[in-house]
Structure 1
Amino acid sequence: CEALIRDFKQQDNGLLGIRVEGGRRFRVREAGVQKDQLLVADVQWLQELPDQPLGEEDADLLALLEALAEHPMVASLDMGGQAEGQQALSNQLAYLLPFNEADKIDLLQLDDPGQRLDAIQLLLDELQGELFI
């Protein structure tokens, strides 16, 4: 997705710290590297499906997000730990949970937030199964 710069400041180590918020989603059609090493791409902007309200079936995942929000590292992200609909809940969990990069990409490529929540639950079930083997 596009990254919208929301805040920035110079860090003590001299690096620039940037806080971004995800914006519109897209698919990369073609990508390349310019002579100055700048990455450029031709993208297709994706239409978002209308967000669906959270239902009873989402209660456990919402509780998980609220629990994650209490962790100091997550709290420092200032994400709020709240979700108004399935889109926000699925996006925040996909970002915060310790899934591997390929799984995160697969999740975020799903257009339907309800399907994304179902896929997150399956990944959580797999993680839980691995912990008890």
Structure 2
Amino acid sequence: MNTGGIIEDVKSSNTKVKDNLSLVYYSRTGKTERFIEKVTEVFDIPTSSINEYQSGKYILITPTYNFGEVPVEINEFLSNHNENMVAVMSAGNRNWGQNFAKSGETLSKKYNVDLIGKIEMMGTQSDIEKLVNYIKQLE
């Protein structure tokens, strides 16, 4: 991966986020998990799947299924853990047109949290930078 700009700045500063913030994700096909792996290659932040989540503030990374819907597993998770979500980032496929990564919009409105952005498939360097920039402005 080409790591320029902010990614190099983050790597060289050994930035570690506050211990009370993590990335929580759901990944049925592995694409969202691969995005999380790419983020943690350049930014030191705790991560967990929705099944491993314990406690604390988190940013949710979720796929979008069935042409714009929030995965059932995410809705079930949030029924018990929405109070600690500070923001959401969603993934999808641009072939879905206006429903591309729509789960993030839906959750942002429902839970009144920031929508950091939408990523296609496993995300790009620009998507990683957008997430890292968002986290850094929280510190």
* Common fold: TM-score over 0.5: no
Larger RCO, structures 1/2 (Cα 8 Å, 6+ apart) = 2
TM-score by length of 1: 0.25
Larger radius of gyration: 1
